Structure 1
Amino acid sequence: MATVASLSFSTLTQSSSERKTPIPSLLSDSSTFKLRTNFYFHPITFRSYSPSRFIVRCMSTLTEPPPVAETKLKFLNAYKRPIPSIYNTVLQELIVQQHLMRYKKTYRYDAVFALGFVTVYDQLMEGYPSDEDREAIFQAYVNALNEDPQQYRADAQKLEAWARAQDANSLVDFGSKTGECEDILKDIAERAGGSGSFSYSRFFAVGLFRLLELANATEPTILEKLCTALNINKKSVDRDLDVYRNLLSKLVQAKELLKEYVEREKKKREERSEPQKANEAVKNFLAENLYASK
């Protein structure tokens, strides 16, 4: 069973001797963000009471989600610059899985889910060559899902600031307090308890972990108490945090392999350029001396 203390972001690195995962197999683990979701469509029937008893049947456009291909196309159209394969592979996998989460009938946006996604995104895209491009990709990604990237960022920052001011006890005791973030957690607890629409996801699990991390509440019992207060199944959270840790571990390995590859190629180019530089130096020397002799 996963413990919160074992999932610190700062400990997800391995020595070069342990790195055995090639970049193409980054997402080969079938447990990585794999969800099965069934969509239900209800036909609406209109009956005409004319003598012909003409019946018109149509699908409700209100419950029919867009296909995954449409979401992916919206993302590609919004951000047309090439994305390095190590990042693009993960992004394409995530956008498919988040599409399935987003269009479940029970889905409802909440700030903890947003915090979880922002945490995952920032960890995955850490070290991206351009901060400006990284944010542009984030905007394109969230917009492709017909959601608001500004709301994601604002809610994530709001919860992060709140969690930093909490400790283990106050974090779990949100139900007896008043405040904007406390009300967010109360609403989640009510919906997860059966009074409304709630759809648990791995992003939500990561959001919970981020709250605990920022509040320095690293004892495993605190996660259990928080899950109980929110009416969330702790076993599901433990399982999904293990999946998340595994994903980040593989990504760290892949990034290090990519860095080593780039450094090797750079060194090879420099070695190949040395003879050319020597030839140029000789040519320049001869030219200068020939000109001087005249």
Structure 2
Amino acid sequence: MDKIRTVSDTRRAFYHYHTRPINSIYRQVVQELMVEMHLLSVHVNFKQDPIYCVGVSESFDQFMTGYKPEEDKSSIFNALCKAVEANPDDYRYQSETFLNFIEGKSAEDLINWLLNPVSENGLDENIVNSLKSITEREDFKYSRLFGIGFYTIINKLDSEIAKDEEKLAKLIAPYAEKLKLPVEKLKKDVDLYRSNLDKINQMLIVIAETIEASKKKRINMEKTEQKEEAN
């Protein structure tokens, strides 16, 4: 019997692939995403799918907004995926391909399509089959990252519906019923995601203002020193 990887194994693997320190402001975000991806990767009923890939990619991109140095972001994302023995390029490919595919659709059309995915507009058959398998499985494993991916997709197609709790619930009801999605948990996951995004955005504003104030202070000090030297 294969030994099940532990969180410690995944953490060690992550720092093997990404050797630079994580910016302290973002460390918790990375750690939480790492643990969540790990727990799913070792769950017997978990199977990666395009909506989950959207959730992982969008969560990472949104929560890592403003990360410095910028060039480290791709290394961190790659390390997160590789640490759970996944392919980061495949995550990005599935996410981007599916998001490109849904462009121009209405939210209602998308839900109807998800209920019975078929090859359309050259969409990769692997993506179609993966989404089809979700609707056919009795043991589908819901996750917060799937919920975020699902919300992201709806939000991109119709942000007004995504904001309206009643309309959103009505829209997703057929798909939620077919997948036996825990609707209340989905709602809580989405609410928490949006709340955390707001906190991140507020934090970035504060950081930007602090940097700007520090810059002005330094400039004023330099001007004062120059005047004193001139005198």
Shift of 1:244: 0.9
Q: Distance in 2 between matches of 1:144 and 1:80?
A: 13
What is the root-mean-square deviation in Å for CA atoms of aligned residues?
2.2
The reply on whether 1:140 has 2:79 as its aligned counterpart is: yes
Note closer, same or farther for the CA distance 1:117–1:184 as it changes in structure 2 (3 Å cut).
same
Contact 1:212 1:223 in 2 (8 A): no
Match of 1:288 in 2: none
2:203 to 254, 262, 272: 254
Partner letter of residue 136 of structure 2?
A: E
Q: Which one of 118, 133, 136 corresponds to residue 190 of structure 1?
A: 136
User: 1:270–1:73: structure 2 CA closer, same or farther, 3 Å change rule?
Assistant: farther
What secondary structure, in the 3-state scheme, does the structure 2 residue paired with 1:107 have?
coil
Say whether 1:178 aligns with 2:118: yes
After superposition, the Cα gap between the structure-2 partners of 1:182 and 1:234, relative to the gap in structure 1 and judged at 3 Å, is farther
- CA distance, structure 1, for counterparts of residue 226 and residue 10 of structure 2: 50
- 1:108 Cα deviation (Å)? 1.6
Gaps of 5+ in 1: 1-59, 283-294
Residues in 1 aligned to 2:117 and 2:189: alpha-carbon distance in whole angstroms:
29
**Unpaired stretches in structure 2, ≥5 consecutive residues:** 120-124, 162-166
Q: How far apart are 1:233 and its partner, in Å?
A: 2.4
**Structure with the largest fraction of helix:** 2
Q: Which amino acid aligns with 1:242?
A: D
Distance 1:141 1:276 in 2: 48
Mark the structure with the bigger radius of gyration: 1
Partners in 1 of 2:212 and 2:12 — Cα distance?
34
1:271 aligns with 2:220: yes
After superposition, residues 208-247 of structure 1 pair within 5 angstroms as 208-216=150-158, 218=161, 219-220=167-168, 221-247=170-196
1:107 aligns with one of 46, 59, 65: 46
**Which structure 1 residue ranges, 4+ long, deviate > 4 Å from structure 2?**
279-282
Deviation at 1:281, TM superposition (A): 4.7
Q: Per chain length, whose mean CA-contact separation is higher, i.e. which structure has more relative contact order (CA < 8 Å, sep 6+)?
A: 1
**Structure 1 residue 260: deviation in Å?**
2.3
Alpha-carbon shift at residue 97 of structure 1 (Å): 2.6
Instruction: Report what 2:122 is aligned to.
Output: none
Residue 99 of structure 2 aligns with an amino acid whose one-letter code is E
